[in-house]
Chain A
């Protein structure tokens, strides 16, 4: 800046101000376009998260609702949650539930997607039927499954009884209940996996297979060298989203076992729900759900990292 410039600016008066204003608008106008999105995110996502974090540092109970007083307790809610004997159980259950659900959902989903890739009569109809578990209200399907898995009158045990198998205590034995709940969640997650993986398979160019066939890549070889590398990006998306969705499953567990018997199906998510909405200890519930958010966030970052690494199409 020179003194000449300054003089010019001062002397030009309104014209200079107008120019500067227009430059300002030009430089920052792109922010105006994202303003609605920013406002939306801040209001509907930012506010609840901040509120939840604040809540986890408070003794937020039934009284708070009337008095509006929530004493600040610092890290006490986190200390109580982490030092509870239930915490280890819920973390182990959450891990088993997530790993068990995802691995089977994915394997079965991929197998079905590959199966439906070759068009055969009624394949479109059957594929849409496969979406059914996804469309049913969760609480209804969990009620049906509870009946199917019932030890004495459940249809599954009656069926197994035909082969001389003694009634299996699916949801009653602490050793089996988690497996039972995982089984139902697998059933529930297959449509998601099939739908995404199927569309991924559709995007693999046909020429690749034709070219591969000339070089002798058919069947298993074609899958290993053509299909799998082509759908890898889709696979990582399905996996990470699946993990994040599975971590926070509440309704299916509440509907089937309510976290029981003897906490054998209690996960971080159901425990947080219990603390907040059964025991009305909202502070501790918030602390637990924050821990869950951090875990989900870690997986979201993995997703971000993977999707950034992807080659541009």
Chain B
């Protein structure tokens, strides 16, 4: 009896230690992907889109004369999957990446420069090229991109007698206050403790001249103070520290928020609902003389180094097709995003009233990794840490930023 008990105890002890390790070993040795093998004329494609995106791939497959094998990975699982494929050398032939992740993956040496396949990014929005460039070499390009704007409830604006969207922070604050009441907030944004929270704060920080290089700066403190003022006015819910961007749009659709920071990928959802009539405007700046600088969002296509030169050339051609003006337009229509090419974007903006303010915002948008490169995630962590500390009253904005910067 005694030994049996002892053995059981030991098993528990080991099981506990192993359970703590489980997540680590999961990434270290998962099942290997389908990529890397197959017929020489079939390219494997990996993204986190929905099957609705497949016609674009099929059409480019026809143009480049290859077959395609598409696998869609759920968003948060893409990078762990890519890391696992990197170590087992089973990367797909064409890989989609969220633009702030490109630098880290390129730094590992897993990607081939797109210039090898005759792509340069000429004519594209500067931020798109910057997002895909690591140490002076271009590794990824996006057919269409997105950024953040503010969606507003047209009926509520009308009822409050507001005719023009706000241009400055003061106007935004006054309008938000006016629109607050009857179980409704005038303004909503995501201030959650993830990279999403940092991304939503960037239009205010960058628009006021703040930089991620050092967030303990007066410009950034002003921006954070502004968000805090909105909260102190009661114009923004204290729950915003727990809201994701999707929660924010749900508040908007439920009529519980009059203005919300969000991106064009929500347009299909907004079109489906009948509760709220809406439009969008670019994020206001502190002074009317400042230019809006919103963060660039969107996914880029890359060509991983699979070791098969012939296939990589085909993959290069395939990516070249994906970022061609025609396909940019297709992808922009499908995802309600903005074509990366300035000319195509201008055309698209003219034909689509809803997307027009996003086209304007993308022109001056900035890539998150433009300054810090692969170090961006660390800065993003600092930003949301400071935002959370200030909004929960743990520190005043300047102090919160200083603490986060020195973390």
Contacts and interface: CB of A to CB of B under 8 A. Distances in A.
B52 interface: no
Contact of A63 (B25, B107, B256): B107
A66 interface: yes
B394 interface: yes
Contact of A49 (B17, B377, B389): B17
Given A65-B86, A260-B192, A303 B12 contact: yes
Interface in B87-128: 87, 104-105, 107-110
A308 B2 CA distance: 7
B21 A258 contact: no
Given A55-B24, A308-B6, A262 B388 contact: yes
A313 B2 CA distance: 9
A65 B5 CA distance: 41
Contacts of B193: 258-263
Given A151-B238, A244-B16, A261 B388 contact: yes
Which 6 A-B pairs give the minimum distances between C-beta atoms?
A: A260-B193, A300-B13, A66-B108, A63-B108, A66-B86, A262-B388
Contacts of A250: 23
A41 B14 contact: yes
Interface of A: 41, 44-45, 48-49, 51-52, 55, 62-68, 84-86, 150-152, 169, 171-174, 241, 244-245, 248, 250, 257-264, 269, 273, 276-280, 282, 285-286, 289, 292-293, 296-297, 300-301, 303-304, 307-308, 310, 312-313
B378 interface: yes
A244 B83 CA distance: 31
B15 interface: yes
A45 B377 CA distance: 32
B20 A289 contact: yes
Contact of A85 (B12, B87, B407): B407
Contacts of B18: 44-45, 48-49
B231 to A, nearest CB: 11
B5 A307 contact: yes
Given A65-B87, A66-B87, A289-B20, A48 B2 contact: no
B24 A285 contact: yes
Interface of B: 1-2, 5-6, 9-10, 12-25, 27-28, 79-80, 83-84, 86-87, 104-105, 107-110, 183, 192-195, 237-239, 241-242, 256, 377-378, 381, 385, 388-389, 391-394, 403, 407
B307 to A, nearest CB: 12
B12 A300 contact: yes
A260 B388 contact: yes
A17 B393 CA distance: 82
Contact of B242 (A41, A62, A172): A172
Nearest to A174: B392
A128 B162 CA distance: 59
A106 B394 CA distance: 33
Contact of A313 (B1, B16, B192, B389): B1
23 contacts: A49-B17, A62-B104, A62-B105, A63-B108, A63-B109, A65-B108, A66-B86, A66-B87, A67-B108, A171-B242, A172-B241, A245-B16, A248-B20, A260-B193, A262-B391, A276-B24, A278-B195, A279-B381, A282-B24, A296-B16, A307-B9, A308-B2, A312-B1
